[in-house]
Amino acid sequence: MPTKYSRRDARKKDDNGCLPLHRAAIDNDITKIRKLVNVYAEGIRTKDNDGDLPLHCAVDCHCAPVEVVKYLVEAYPDGVNVKNNDGDLPLHCAVSCRCAPVEVVKYLVEAYPDGVNVKNNDGDLPLHCAVSCHCAPFEVIKYLIEATPDGVYAKNNHGNLPLHCAANIGRTLEIVKCLVEAYADGVREKTNTGCLPLHCCAVSGSNVDPVHMAAHKNGLLEVVKYLVEAYPDGVREKAIWTDLDGHFDGGQLPVHAAAYGGAPLEIVKYLVEAFPKSLRVKDIVGRRRPLDAAKFQDAPPDVIAYLESREACANCGRTLRDVKADGGKLRVCSGCSGSAAPTLYCSTACQKAAWPQHKRECRDDRTRWSDETRKSNRAIASRISQLAQEKAMLAQENAMLEERLAVLTRQV
């Protein structure tokens, strides 16, 4: 770019609707920014095609200097409360993606204190954005929690607490602990798809670049352990949800989520050891056990090998791999085949031998499965009713908007 700028140069937009000022802000070039503002002051208020002001562009960078941000805010103080097309304030941008320094975040909050409570189009507070960013440092997250203590209770449009967001991308134990300490019952909260933070964490390994997995998986295991210790029954909780048409899906335990999501072996082993019976539990739609889920999604070979080694005859203890080596297969007990966790045998002889002891357990399994089914059906019916009410409200709002549009059309 030239060292001197005419007003005409400063007003010229590129294909993305960006002025030279937007580009200078992206580059954090304070000298260019000052020159461009001097020749075309209105540029500071101009949005690009994404609805971004130069201020949005400047803070959306991990190395954004406070000097640049201060200059842009002082030149256009109201810029701190302007949203882009995604509903993001500059504060949302600052804590997302390549998270700006904590000094920049603090400055934006001081310039617009209510910004910490503003949600974007996805229903995310700046806190949701920060914990969803791999680069956001602990200091930024801790500062946002202190700035808006109620933020840890807020759910976005997907029903995610900040804790779900942090678990979903495998944030560090330090960050997860901070969120749980601020809202202890958050470990029991479910998203719109019925997922606990533990479900989210169990699949977060699939969100990590393979190059970084070796360094990441040990930390991820610590987070899984922490969430299980905070809510031990979480390993038995199923994610169940319904759509607008009332169709239900899911029924997955955290170990199913781990198997479907390609989680590392250490995570799968820990979840199985925390709830051994989960090996025999089937999800709702696919009627798949964790081993079936792992095979369905082409999970890592060591995960499949481990799950196969844990599948065994309830009578003689022969593993699935041993039985398959002899040309056989594990059979489901005919008595509890309809339950969520049927018992397996390698032969009719083993089933007959175990039947005197298994008979009571088999009956209890069927009863428990019936109880779980009724409980699930009640939850599904409640969700369908809730969705029907939401659908009716949307229809009412739509009718009001159409009526308003008709009035405006007649006036024109």
pLDDT in tens, 72-91: 999 999 999 999 999 999 99
Selection from 20-34, 57-71, 233-247, 311-325 with the highest mean pLDDT = 20-34
Q: Is residue 205 scored above 70 in pLDDT?
A: no
Pick the CATH number of 191-310 from 3.40.50.720, 1.25.40.20, 3.40.50.360, 3.30.470.10: 1.25.40.20
Residue 32: its pLDDT value, please? Answer: 96
| Segment 406-411 mean pLDDT | 81
- CATH architecture of the domain 1-157 equals Alpha Horseshoe (1.25)
Q: Which of 118, 91, 92, 127 is nearest to 107 (CA)?
A: 91
State in Å, rounded, how far the first CA of the chain is from the last one.
Answer: 47
97: alpha, beta or left, given left = phi > 0 and alpha = psi -120 to 50? left
Residue 303: its pLDDT value, please? Answer: 94
Considering only the C-alpha atoms of the chain, give the largest distance between any 2 of them, rounded to a whole number of Å: 93
**Which of 215 and 183 is assigned the larger pLDDT?**
183
Query: How do the domains of the chain map onto residue ranges?
Result: 1-157, 191-310
Task: State the pTM of this model.
Answer: 0.80
**Which of 61 and 91 is assigned the larger pLDDT?**
91
- How far is Cα 80 from Cα 83, in angstroms, rounded to an integer? 8
Q: How is residue 154 written in tokens?
A: 């807020």
Amino acid occupying residue 309: S
- How far is Cα 217 from Cα 215, in angstroms, rounded to an integer? 6
How confident is residue 2, by pLDDT bands cut at 50, 70 and 90?
low
Average pLDDT, the chain: 86
Sign of CA dihedral 50, 52, 56, 61: positive
How confident is residue 345, by pLDDT bands cut at 50, 70 and 90?
confident
Cα angle 104, 109, 114 (rounded to 5 degrees) comes to 155
Cβ distance 182 to 149 under 8 Å?
Answer: yes
- How far is Cα 125 from Cα 305, in angstroms, rounded to an integer? 42
Other Cβ atoms within 10 Å of 349 Cβ, number: 11
- Cβ contacts of residue 79 below 8 Å, gap of 6+? 44, 45, 53, 55, 72, 73, 90
pLDDT over 70, % of the chain: 85
Same fold, 1-157 and 191-310: yes
Residue 401: its pLDDT value, please? Answer: 85
Residue 165: its pLDDT value, please? Answer: 96
Cβ distance 166 to 132 under 8 Å?
Answer: yes
The predicted-structure confidence for 365-406, as pLDDT tens digits, reads as follows 655 555 555 666 566 667 667 777 878 888 888 888 888 888
- How far is Cα 284 from Cα 243, in angstroms, rounded to an integer? 15
Residue 43: its pLDDT value, please? Answer: 97
Residue 280: its pLDDT value, please? Answer: 82
Q: Which of 230, 228, 243, 232 is nearest to 194 (CA)?
A: 243
How confident is residue 38, by pLDDT bands cut at 50, 70 and 90?
very high
Cα angle 86, 201, 365 (rounded to 5 degrees) comes to 125
